[in-house]
Amino acid sequence: MKYEKTSLFGMILVIVALLISIYFMCNTNALVPAGYDLAIHGIVISRTIMIAFTLYLVSKLGYFLLNKKD
């Protein structure tokens, strides 16, 4: 019972982090602070980091689902 609660909580945290990173990947205006409208390099770098983090979370979620103990 305790393992099920822990794994459910972990799954919820991974899904929330995945949704947040997808949001920032799609909405690049949220990544640019006020006053830095011409900071294109920062947008590219932050979007690349979000893509890498999203791929990491998807692989971690897939690994978790494949190795899930019944």
Name the DSSP letter for residue 33: P
What are residue 49's phi and psi, to 5 degrees? Answer: -65, -40
CB 25 within 8 A of CB 50: yes
AA letter at 7: S
Q: What is the pLDDT of residue 1?
A: 52
Alpha helices, DSSP H, located in the chain: 2-26, 40-66
Read off the pLDDT of residues 5-58 as tens digits, 9 standing for 90 and up: 667 777 787 788 888 878 877 887 776 767 766 666 777 787 788 888 888 888
